[in-house]
Structure 1
Amino acid sequence: MSTPNDELLPELDLRLTQENLDDLYEHAPCGYCSCLPDGTLVKLNHTLLSWLGYERSELVARQCLQQLFTVGGRLHYETHCAPLLLVRNQVRELSYSLRRKDGSTLPVLMNAQLLRDSDEQPLLVRVTLFDITERRKYEQELLRAKAQAEEQREQLAQANELLTSKNEQLTRINSDLDSFVYTASHDLKQPIENMAGLFQELRRTVTFHDPEAADMMGMFTQALQQILTTIKGLTEVVQLQRQLEQVPLELVVLQPFTEEIIRSLQQVNGQNATFTLDFAAAPTVCMARPGLHSMLYNLLSNGLKYAEPGRRPHIRVSTAASDDATVLSVQDNGRGIDLTRYGRQLFQLFRRFHPEVVGSGMGLYLVNRLAHQAGGRVEVDSTVGQGTTFRVYLPQHTTCQLS
């Protein structure tokens, strides 16, 4: 009874059923041979002869199967394969290399079956050989790739070990430098303050008749004040660094936090500046509160300090989301910075770009250091005469708790 699937089968060409078995043997896609139990070759197909480059008469009854193998393969055949055939009557997928007549080699996989006579005595070994040249190339490529990967892994491990060592060394150096700066600034502060006090007493009690004395006294006073400002700044940097190491991260609400800083700045500076706050995109940031306060205070005070003469200062503070970071931006309409000229020096300690404005040159250094300590970074856009925008990228922390 026919089925619907039968109708889909093409009509069979009867010539396909008349396959010549001798031709199939001779031109099979694999090598065939037969040999006596001692290995003497009695029959080989054309495929195997073409691989080896021999004539049939050069091999049949003249050579043994194991003689076609390389030295190592011959030893393996005689000590492992032949005894295994006698025990199991067959072996499968043994890897050998055939020696061609021209001296080259051909990698093959061998299957063999031992036939016995009616008395169970070994009679004939039938052998099938498969060319695995491409497979061997692939295996060699895999081995090379594995060796390269191992070498790269070792190099990476060494590089990581070296990097860890360098980081530990840098951490120790930074700690030593901070301790040195703190100690030096602390030890210098009292003598400088004493010197300033003595100088003030000198100005009060001594009369100078030299007309240039007043200018020199003013310059000396200014120099003393600059030294005191620098010492105070150095102490603040180290103290803040140590303080932040002990302070936990907080989820700070930016609106009231920033408004409080603005009120304190307006009381000190007394400038008629306007502020725009826009924290809709990210109302909070995760950072240690003292560090965030110092960062915003320095950026906002710079916006007031470096205002363009004759222009009312306007500062805009806003947030935006960027991948896994919150971007805190402070934009002013002040004097601007020539980034082409000073870009690489922007965050260096004691670098100042507007000498006509009083400052210590530590604000931007501190901002950059605080951002890096929090795992973030600072980017700057500025146009001379138009203003500057600082963007602080702060990483988001899922474990940060609202204070």
Structure 2
Amino acid sequence: MSEPEDELLPELDLRLTQENLEDLYEHAPCGYCTCLPDGTLVKLNHTLLTWLGYEVQELVARKCLQELFTIGGRLHYEMHCAPLLLLQDQVREISYTLRRKDGSTLPVLMNAVLLRDIDKQPLAVRITLFDITDRRKYEQELLRAKVQAEEQSKQLARANELLVTKNEQLTRINSDLDSFVYTASHDLKQPVTNMAGLFQELKRTATFHDPDAAGMMSMFEEALQQILGTIEGLTEVVQQQRELEQVSVDVVELRPFTEDIIRSLHPSEHEAGFTLDFSAVPRLRMARPSLHSMLYNLLSNALKYASPDRRPQVRVSTAQGDKEVIISVQDNGRGIDLARHGSELFQLFRRFHPEVVGSGMGLYLVNRLVHQAGGRVEVESEVSSGTTFHIFLPQ
């Protein structure tokens, strides 16, 4: 220690220890008052008088405690509080509203103690009052917030009910549309097939002298084949959707599964180079028919829309996301102008390379199957450079 340990502390001023009890009572942070058992006021501190705006001579022996309350407070005091005081000699934390001299109000919390004489008869009541203006505002704000939350909850419940109803309607509409498409395509297939047969017989037996007849015949035959292809595609989409709803989920080893799909492609397309990288996610839990249709359509498109200027190169790989598996199919083909066709990419019958034969249903089917599995499809593409499809599947 820097100072000698035996150095005396300054002498304490004993006046600091002398408290004025009357001053403590008068200027306490709460209101004090004393009244007779009938409520007649006999003493009030300065704090309470300041709150009320009265002078002491206006209240002492002139008014009762209950007269300082609002009408509802008076009734409560006389019918509940006063009998309770007589029964148990005290009450605690009862909320009342005082009415000031100017007519304004002040919310308070009241504690009361009943004093008795030596014969156990009621002598006086000591009252302590706490200003709870801020607390009352806070309670009112909480109440308003609660009412708003309840109203929002009701609105959300109504919105959820409406959403469920809309979903049910959409499900029924989709089911009806699928049934309609399947029935219409099935009913149209036979007449169109008959027309194709009749046309072949007409080509075999009829003779046309018009020099333009051959071209027109060829155009008519192409139109027939296009109609047949469209009908078969529609039937396949609906039929496959119905079949997939009944298929169970399975664990698929991706490398042999993808190799089987590549082998199933047309032999002339085997000139393409395939790179498979499933090291990040070697197996996937999914319905086999769904996965087969996704990969088959993407791989066949990669070969179908290959660039005529270079050997097709196709890479299939997997990556692990936070809560999803990503399957990517990348090619070096013709590419797609996403700025022009991006919004139409997965629409039914949409084709972006008219010079290549196709039905325009492959990407529609891929997108539909991915969404059915709870995932999404993202596309990167550059014209004349190639396209990459990223399939995000939940795990």
- Matching of residues 16-27 of structure 1 within 5 Å: 16-27=16-27
Q: Distance in 2 between matches of 1:127 and 1:270?
A: 99
Q: Which amino acid aligns with 2:385?
A: Q
Give how far 1:16 is off: 4.2
Which residue of 2 is the match for residue 237 of structure 1?
237
Give how far 1:330 is off: 0.4
Q: Which amino acid aligns with 2:211?
A: P
Q: Deviations over 1:23-55 (max 9, x none)?
A: 110111110000111111111001111111111
Q: Which moved more, 1:337-346 or 1:53-62?
A: 53-62
Q: Distance in 2 between matches of 1:11 and 1:243?
A: 99
Question: Unaligned 5+ residue runs, structure 1?
Answer: 1-9, 397-403
Give how far 1:14 is off: 4.1
- Matching of residues 175-194 of structure 1 within 5 Å: 175-194=175-194
Corresponding position: 1:299 with 2:298: yes
Residues 12 and 228 of structure 1: is their aligned pair in 2 closer, same or farther, counting only changes over 3 Å? Answer: farther
Corresponding position: 1:172 with 2:172: yes
Q: Deviations over 1:258-307 (max 9, x none)?
A: 0111111142x435210111111111122111111111000001111111
Q: Deviations over 1:46-92 (max 9, x none)?
A: 11111111111211111111111011001111111111111211111
Q: Which moved more, 1:215-224 or 1:157-166?
A: 157-166
Cα contact 2:269–2:303 (8 A) shared by 1: no
Corresponding position: 1:67 with 2:61: no
Question: For 1:270, what is the secondary structure of its paired residue?
Answer: helix
Which residue of 1 is the match for residue 221 of structure 2?
221
Q: Cα RMSD over matched residues? A: 1.4
Which residue of 2 is the match for residue 257 of structure 1?
257
Q: Deviations over 1:217-244 (max 9, x none)?
A: 0000000000000011001101110110
Corresponding position: 1:93 with 2:93: yes
Question: For 1:98, what is the secondary structure of its paired residue?
Answer: strand
Q: Which moved more, 1:246-255 or 1:134-143?
A: 134-143
Cα contact 1:285–1:394 (8 A) shared by 2: no
Q: Distance in 2 between matches of 1:147 and 1:202?
A: 80
Residues 12 and 341 of structure 1: is their aligned pair in 2 closer, same or farther, counting only changes over 3 Å? Answer: farther
Which residue of 1 is the match for residue 382 of structure 2?
383
Corresponding position: 1:162 with 2:162: yes
Q: Distance in 1 between matches of 2:80 and 2:243?
A: 75
Which residue of 1 is the match for residue 6 of structure 2?
none
Give how far 1:15 is off: 4.0
- Matching of residues 42-81 of structure 1 within 5 Å: 42-81=42-81
Which residue of 1 is the match for residue 275 of structure 2?
276
Q: Which moved more, 1:162-171 or 1:366-375?
A: 162-171
Corresponding position: 1:140 with 2:140: yes
Give how far 1:375 is off: 0.8
Give how far 1:17 is off: 2.7
Residues 17 and 197 of structure 1: is their aligned pair in 2 closer, same or farther, counting only changes over 3 Å? Answer: same
Question: For 2:265, what is the secondary structure of its paired residue?
Answer: helix
Q: Distance in 2 between matches of 1:310 and 1:333?
A: 10
Cα contact 1:378–1:392 (8 A) shared by 2: yes
Q: Distance in 2 between matches of 1:29 and 1:14?
A: 26
Give how far 1:13 is off: 6.5
Which residue of 2 is the match for residue 35 of structure 1?
35
Residues 381 and 12 of structure 1: is their aligned pair in 2 closer, same or farther, counting only changes over 3 Å? Answer: farther
Question: Unaligned 5+ residue runs, structure 2?
Answer: 1-9
Question: For 1:96, what is the secondary structure of its paired residue?
Answer: strand
Residues 359 and 14 of structure 1: is their aligned pair in 2 closer, same or farther, counting only changes over 3 Å? Answer: farther
Which residue of 2 is the match for residue 372 of structure 1?
371
Q: Distance in 1 between matches of 2:85 and 2:166?
A: 62
Q: Which amino acid aligns with 1:279?
A: F
Q: Distance in 2 between matches of 1:229 and 1:323?
A: 41
Q: Distance in 2 between matches of 1:312 and 1:13?
A: 104
Question: For 1:246, what is the secondary structure of its paired residue?
Answer: coil
Aligned residue pair count? 386
Q: Distance in 1 between matches of 2:310 and 2:62?
A: 108
Question: For 2:112, what is the secondary structure of its paired residue?
Answer: strand
Give how far 1:118 is off: 2.2
Which residue of 1 is the match for residue 330 of structure 2?
331
Residues 252 and 46 of structure 1: is their aligned pair in 2 closer, same or farther, counting only changes over 3 Å? Answer: same
Which residue of 2 is the match for residue 131 of structure 1?
131
Query: Which TM-score applies when normalising by structure 2?
Result: 0.95
Identity of aligned residues (%): 78
Q: Which amino acid aligns with 2:312?
A: P
Question: For 2:245, what is the secondary structure of its paired residue?
Answer: helix
Q: Which amino acid aligns with 2:210?
A: D
Give how far 1:119 is off: 2.3
Question: For 2:336, what is the secondary structure of its paired residue?
Answer: coil
Q: Distance in 2 between matches of 1:218 and 1:15?
A: 122
Q: Which amino acid aligns with 1:225?
A: Q
Cα contact 1:382–1:389 (8 A) shared by 2: yes
Q: Which amino acid aligns with 2:345?
A: L
Q: Which moved more, 1:166-175 or 1:359-368?
A: 166-175
Residues 13 and 324 of structure 1: is their aligned pair in 2 closer, same or farther, counting only changes over 3 Å? Answer: farther
Q: Which amino acid aligns with 1:348?
A: Q
Q: Deviations over 1:126-149 (max 9, x none)?
A: 100011111111211211111111
Greater than 6 Å deviation, 4+ residue runs: 10-13
